Amino acid sequence: MRMHRRTLLALAVFTGLTAPSMALAADDTIKIGLLATFEGPFTVLGEDSERGAMTAVAEMNGTVAGKKIEIVKGSSDASPDSAVRAARKLVEQDGVKVLVGPLSGDEGLAVKDYAKTQPNVTFINGTSAAQDTTLRDPAENFFRFSTDGAQWMAGLGTYAFKDKGYKKVATVAEDYSFPYTQVFGFMAEFCKAGGHVPSKSWVPIGNKDFSSVIAAIPEDVDAIYVALGGADAVNFLTQYQQGGGSAPLIGGSITVDQTVLTSKGKLRDVLKGTPSAGPTADTNDAPAWKTFVEAYKKQPGAFPSPSLFAHGYYVDMKATLLGLDQVGGDVSDGGKKLRDALSKLSFDTPTGKVSLDKNRNAIADIFLTEVTEGADGNLMNKLVKVVPQVNQTLGIPEDEFMKLGAVNRDNPSCP
Amino acid sequence: MSLTIATGTTPQQNWLERLGAGHIILAVALVLYPLVASDFFLTQIGGYSLVFGMLGLSLMLLAGYGGMVSLAQITVAGIAAYAIAILGNNNSNILGFGWPWWLAVPFAVLAAALASALIGWISVRTEGIYTIMITLAIATATYYFAQQNYAIFNGHSGYAGIRAPAFWGISWRDPRPFYYLCLGLAVLSYAAVLYGSRSTFGMTLQAIRDNPRRMRALGYHVTAHKVFAWALAGVIAGLAGVLLVWFNGRVSPGTIGVDAAIDVLIIAVIGGLRHPIGPFLGAVVVVLMQTFAIDIVGAERFNTLIGMVFLVIVFVSPDGILGLWGRIKPHLAQESLRPGP
């Protein structure tokens, strides 16, 4: 029996080791949680989002209202469960009162639900862009200074129909809430202009073999609208090109993002000339954007131009810091003052003015772009047009917009 | 192991002695744990470890006593979790029959047990690596099916807004009640496996593990015994699945992905497959590592650190943490290396 007594004594000690080590923040520092995808299929995107957030922190010289900023990182793998688990750890164990994140659509929906159970913590979105994170059943303490996926598509549907002359478009997108939102944003305009979408393919995140999807794309479409992210986009485009596909592409916001454009190989030729829309444009001439790009490039491992994840996390982190600055870094009242400040906040970002609507979702400029090869050989998104101050209902009156119904795989439809 | 030998050979013990000092100390420590632990350590570490310990235990039952390594235990738990979401209430506007918990839970656990028995029935004709392959295939197929089926599983988003029940005036998702709920069910499962391993069925199962041909020649129905073991493992995994969905308040394909399936295997292997306490030890180590590794080495390389720690444990002791103890105490090592009674 001696062995067992000792085994279990050790066990008891071991359990004792796990006793609380509640980290107490010193008065002169302020803790901000940073939740992004540091693992799984969106790792590259998550790492760039961190660069964006850190650019905002560096801009403030690492202090806000005289307090040192301490960033506590949490990692998810783009699944809602992992995002909530990481958020719980940041809030309940590390004791952050302000949390910036998450990155991906369904994560945002899940973190919003979690936010409702933590009314004293202020949640500021990262880049998650599902519509219903803020549109339907929003959380009082969840703010989105980056716009949603439907807003990002502003102007693209009309451009594809009128300027490019595409009448029939097939869509290929990942099977979760963010691409639903993107397809919704594209089709809202494209269908209204008179276009048709005969085939919509939804593929799981992390899909490797796209042959069945490629085979299912109708022969007679004028273009393919692709809303895939990171490795998924590279895999699909490579296989489509190897399979002899030649239809022109229309890109979702993260499909022709720097995370994809920096990939090597023949893929580059396929991507050239692809129209897209999103919250950023690489060839934006605005001085504020150029300053931001220079600041971003100081971050280790930076891309030639910041991805929209770097941009989104930058904007949201910047808003967070501006809000904290206004309240003197004081969140001891459960963040009430901070949330009031954030609701009223309106500031100039590298991509124009950003303010919030009544659901705490951003109203901001959107950029219509086309992929071109820059002078240095890097692929870039060339700015075609700026769509100013797009709101969440895409300029449609709210009650009319709500009647369009919640985004999902089947809504909207115009075969 | 030695505990079972000790109690088995000296029947004239009173119940306290039969329980063993180790068990009593451990029980007291676990019951008093909420006094020192914060809410986070109660649920995210304590509760979560107990839930994954139960999952590991269901695998340990199959692998340790039956010689069948399954990668589908998280799938079985997932079936119970999805059943709770579908039979009870959720806010995803899909299904949600609104059954009370006392009706939904037995059905969910039953569904898990049946699913487990079915998986077992499919895989019992195989051995060793082929069992692993078949169960991995089932786990992967279920994951992708859940990911792409909208009528039952609601695709990638899965179900959200699932609430743990409140009865006897207690909300069972509050940290302390939830911890005790997990502890209660974990202890129940642990005791059941410990008792079951010494029962006639348990002995027969272990004999089948060691020599199925001889057992068949002696007139035992080998397949039936194995499938029944799968059903029992399914009950434990199903209970863990119910706790998991109450804990997360949501379930999605990510919950039952291949990563999670491998986590369960890691928990069982790290902990040790020789005694039912092993998976719980493994679960504590794995959960602690997965939660805090990011604080030690930062966001870029924390998965490498987790992998290294697991590698070191298995490298130093192929029998997991249980075996490690045996190695630290060489004069007892021989006893602990002997397989169960």
**Judgement on whether residues A124 and A252 belong to the same structural domain of the protein:** no
- Among A7, A47, A176, the residue with its CB nearest the CB of B156 is A176
How many CB pairs below 8 Å do chains A and B form together?
A: 139
Which residues in chain A land under pLDDT 70? 1-27
Which residues in chain B land under pLDDT 50? 1-10, 333, 336, 340-341
Kindly list the residues from chain B whose CB atom is less than 8 angstroms away from the CB atom of residue A11: 26, 29, 281
**Which pLDDT value is given to residue B12?**
59
The greatest distance separating any two alpha carbons of chain B, rounded to the nearest whole angstrom, comes to 61
Which pLDDT tens digit goes with each residue over B156-214? 778 888 888 878 877 787 788 889 999 999 999 999 998 998 899 999 999 989 988 89
**Which pLDDT value is given to residue A2?**
45
DSSP, res B88: S
- Does the residue A5 lie in any domain? no
CB-based contact, A23 to chain B, within 8 Å: no
Q: How far is it, in rounded angstroms, from Cα B68 to Cα A331?
A: 54
Minimal C-alpha gap between B122 and chain A (Å): 27
**Judgement on whether residues A273 and A164 belong to the same structural domain of the protein:** yes
Which pLDDT tens digit goes with each residue over B33-66? 887 888 888 888 889 999 999 999 999 999 889 8
CB-based contact, A189 to chain B, within 8 Å: no
CA angle A239, A209, B136 (to 5 degrees): 160
Beta pairing partners, A308: none
Beta pairing partners, A380: A372
Contact map slice: A 120-179 vs B, CB within 8 A: 175-177
From B250, which residue of chain A is nearest by alpha-carbon distance?
Answer: A81
**Judgement on whether residues A204 and A302 belong to the same structural domain of the protein:** no
**Which pLDDT value is given to residue B307?**
85
Kindly list the residues from chain B whose CB atom is less than 8 angstroms away from the CB atom of residue A92: 38-40, 44
- Judged by CB atoms closer than 8 Å, whether chains meet at B249 and A204 is answered as no
Residues of the domain holding A226:
151-284+366-403
- Among A1, A11, A176, the residue with its CB nearest the CB of B21 is A1
Amino acid identity for residue A241 in this structure:
Q
- Does the residue A411 lie in any domain? no
Q: Kindly give the interhelix angle for A308-326 and A336-344, rounded to the nearest 10 degrees.
A: 120
CATH code for the domain in which residue B227 is found = 1.10.3470
The domain total for chain A is 2
pTM: 0.82
Kindly list the residues from chain A whose CB atom is less than 8 angstroms away from the CB atom of residue B147: 175, 204
**Judgement on whether residues A330 and A222 belong to the same structural domain of the protein:** no
**Judgement on whether residues A353 and A380 belong to the same structural domain of the protein:** no
Contact map slice: A 49-108 vs B, CB within 8 A: 50, 73-75, 77, 79-82, 84-85, 88-89, 92-93, 106
CATH code for the domain in which residue A208 is found = 3.40.50.2300
- Judged by CB atoms closer than 8 Å, whether chains meet at A10 and B325 is answered as yes
From B160, which residue of chain A is nearest by alpha-carbon distance?
Answer: A110
**Judgement on whether residues A103 and A244 belong to the same structural domain of the protein:** no
From B36, which residue of chain A is nearest by alpha-carbon distance?
Answer: A19
- Does the residue A18 lie in any domain? no
Nearest alpha-carbon partner for B25 in A302, A169, A16: A16
**Which pLDDT value is given to residue B98?**
77
Nearest alpha-carbon partner for B244 in B9, B8, B74: B74
DSSP, res B159: B
**Which pLDDT value is given to residue B333?**
45
**Which pLDDT value is given to residue B329?**
64
**Judgement on whether residues A195 and A249 belong to the same structural domain of the protein:** yes
**Judgement on whether residues A44 and A84 belong to the same structural domain of the protein:** yes
- Among B6, B254, B335, the residue with its CB nearest the CB of A82 is B254
**Which pLDDT value is given to residue B6?**
44
**Judgement on whether residues A40 and A120 belong to the same structural domain of the protein:** yes
Kindly list the residues from chain B whose CB atom is less than 8 angstroms away from the CB atom of residue A109: 157, 160
**Which pLDDT value is given to residue A399?**
85
**Judgement on whether residues A269 and A396 belong to the same structural domain of the protein:** yes
CB A353 within 8 A of CB A359: no
The domain total for chain B is 1
CA angle B64, B69, B71 (to 5 degrees): 135
Residues of the domain holding B45:
2-337
Minimal C-alpha gap between B223 and chain A (Å): 35
Element (H, E) at A348: strand A346-349
**Long-range Cβ pairs for the range B146-152 (8 Å, 24+):** B146/B78, B146/B82, B146/B253, B146/B256, B147/A175, B147/A204, B147/B253, B148/A175, B148/A204, B150/A409, B150/B94, B152/B82, B152/B86, B152/B95
**Judgement on whether residues A98 and A168 belong to the same structural domain of the protein:** no
